[in-house]
Structure 1
Amino acid sequence: MIHAFNVDISDISVLPDNLKFDKKRISKFLQEKIPEKEQNGKKVLDGKKLEDSWFRPIKADFFISHKHEDEEQAKQLGAYLQSKGKSVFIDSGIWGDIKTLQETIDKDYCSNKEKTFYYYGLRNKSTSYTHMLLANALLKTIVNCETFVFLNTPNSIKAENIITDISETNSPWLYFEINVANALLPEKAIIESHANFSYMPEMTFEADLKKFEKVNVEDFLVQCGFEKTEDWNCENACFEEKFR
């Protein structure tokens, strides 16, 4: 990873909305049967096959980090970059759904015979397995991508922190992705976490965006080498690619 951008997408309307993000999904997910193998005479789950079929690391020009609620905007930006010949990674457009994988494992290995409830200890174990697979794949993919693009929206960063020097997110996955990106940039920063107590509390994570270049969509495209055309300010503006 070479570059990292903190992108305000409030001006996302400058992009054409008639382009479709090419998902280019990896091989068919093993949703009906979890791969197993023998190890020291015991049956174990095959983590390598699970990663290959659900979360195989990808190499791309752009890694777009976004909150689930901003998926359509992420795909709109990704579709435009693809239209200019760039490869784009958006996890929901390429990988399997971790919730589906989790439910499949829990149903087969963590429930009672009647499938009426899950065993707490086994459920925690299966969660650690699936989250480790996903985290490892995210780390490898971010390393493999040239540019990290964080979509800064009210969904991803708490609005009340905008006027301060602190950015907080309630998403542990965004926290992880930002942390990995920071580790790959010069002068590694320490990211602290802060608990937000409420009923069944969420957790806030300090999202250290100080080293990310803060831009809007227009500035981001210019920085990436896409030159403005005469109708730049028009709705659904078109852009002409020009590499520097």
Structure 2
Amino acid sequence: MYKSIQVEDFDFSIFSDVSPSDVKKYKERNKNRLIKIQDYLLDSKNTLSVEKIYEKLFVDIKPDIFLSHSHADKDDVIRLAILIEEELNLSVFIDSCIWGDAFKLLREIDEEYCLNGSNFNYKKRNYTTSNVFIILNSALHRVIYNCEVFIFLGTDNSIPINEAFKSERYLSSPWIYSELQFAKLVRRTPKPRGIKFESRDQALAESLAFDNAPNFAYSIPETDTTLLNRNLKNWIEDSNRYSSQDVHPLDRLYKIISHR
């Protein structure tokens, strides 16, 4: 990773419109991936290979941009990704695109190993969930490491203001916190100019919804810099003006943030 950026006031309403059919197509790119736990077994019984899971579900992805966001904003984030891909010809990874595969795998494992009659064994279910979530978290970290730019899209959904904390802003998602914290600590690498990143098919999956669950307040890890929503919009929409110049779109982005 070369640079981390936080857009503190992301709001897609100021951007060019993206049709619902394009959003639907984006969601269906990797939909209905076949998940079979026997593909991951090291033996004939119950030992699952983490490396085989990575190879099957979380192949090495090297995007230009990793978009971190709240699941509540996923449709707007898809619209943003579509604009970036179409206008700037950059590959974009949306962090929720591999959630569906992880949940399918978790359900397969739980139904095979955690069911007692019609109920799940609580301790076994906690064990399988923690393992799959750690695998998912590690996979996301791999993609962040491989990307050039990490962009966190801050909204009221991802950074809510809680009156209990005197209007201070905190993250409510442990996943966003983990991504930001990793992006803060990961080694910075030179800009990989001349290396063509292969675009991967991506799809979004439904996020978890917890009713009456406890909330956690995570302090927000710092990014290298911040970017206003309107400047993000200008960066995308000014692509035609630079089309005849030999200027990489991400280099234009770095110039914008350096003049703040």
* Normalised-by-shorter TM-score class: 0.7 to 0.9
What is the CA–CA distance in structure 2 between the aligned matches of 1:205 and 1:182, rounded to whole Å?
A: 15
Match of 2:192 in 1: none
> Retained in 2: the 8 A contact 1:57–1:138?
no
Give the 5 Å matches for 1:42-191: 43-83=46-86, 84-93=88-97, 96-112=100-116, 114=117, 116-160=118-162, 167-184=169-186
Give the 5 Å matches for 1:20-59: 20=22, 22=26, 25=30, 28-31=33-36, 35-38=40-43, 43-59=46-62
| 2:222 is equivalent to residue 217 of structure 1 | no
Match of 2:218 in 1: 205
Please tell me the residue identity of whatever aligns with 1:217: N
Alpha carbons of 1:49 and 1:102: their partners in 2 closer, same or farther (altered >3 Å)? same
What is the CA–CA distance in structure 1 between the aligned matches of 2:56 and 2:94, rounded to whole Å?
A: 16
CA drift at 1:167: 3.7
CA drift at 1:94: 5.3
How many residues are aligned here?
214
Alpha carbons of 1:94 and 1:206: their partners in 2 closer, same or farther (altered >3 Å)? same
Match of 1:235 in 2: none
Q: Helix, strand or coil for the counterpart of 2:62?
A: coil
What is the CA–CA distance in structure 1 between the aligned matches of 2:168 and 2:174, rounded to whole Å?
A: 16
CA drift at 1:140: 0.6
CA drift at 1:127: 1.1
| Runs of 4+ residues deviating >4 angstroms | 21-24, 31-34, 163-166
Please tell me the residue identity of whatever aligns with 2:160: K
Q: RMSD of the alignment, in Å?
A: 3.0
Please tell me the residue identity of whatever aligns with 1:76: R
CA drift at 1:203: 1.4
Moved more, 88-97 or 76-85: 88-97
> Retained in 2: the 8 A contact 1:5–1:220?
no
- TM-score scaled by length of structure 1: 0.75
List runs of 5+ in structure 2 lacking aligned partners: 189-211, 253-260
Please tell me the residue identity of whatever aligns with 1:81: I
Alpha carbons of 1:174 and 1:122: their partners in 2 closer, same or farther (altered >3 Å)? same
Give the structure with the larger helix fraction. Answer: 2
Q: Helix, strand or coil for the counterpart of 1:207?
A: coil
What is the CA–CA distance in structure 1 between the aligned matches of 2:101 and 2:14, rounded to whole Å?
A: 28
> Retained in 1: the 8 A contact 2:36–2:108?
yes
What is the CA–CA distance in structure 1 between the aligned matches of 2:224 and 2:167, rounded to whole Å?
A: 13
What is the CA–CA distance in structure 1 between the aligned matches of 2:150 and 2:59, rounded to whole Å?
A: 18
Match of 2:16 in 1: 15
Give the structure with the larger strand fraction. Answer: 1
Alpha carbons of 1:219 and 1:126: their partners in 2 closer, same or farther (altered >3 Å)? same
Match of 2:6 in 1: 6
Please tell me the residue identity of whatever aligns with 1:174: I
What is the CA–CA distance in structure 2 between the aligned matches of 1:88 and 1:64, rounded to whole Å?
A: 7
List runs of 5+ in structure 1 lacking aligned partners: 187-198, 229-238
- TM-score scaled by length of structure 2: 0.71
Please tell me the residue identity of whatever aligns with 1:2: Y
What is the CA–CA distance in structure 1 between the aligned matches of 2:34 and 2:220, rounded to whole Å?
A: 32
Bigger relative CO (Cα 8 Å, ≥ 6 apart): 2
> Retained in 2: the 8 A contact 1:34–1:105?
no
Give deviations 1:83-141, integer Å, cap 9, x for gaps. Answer: 021000013345634333222211111111x2x11112211210121011101101110
What is the CA–CA distance in structure 2 between the aligned matches of 1:203 and 1:75, rounded to whole Å?
A: 26
What is the CA–CA distance in structure 2 between the aligned matches of 1:181 and 1:166, rounded to whole Å?
A: 22
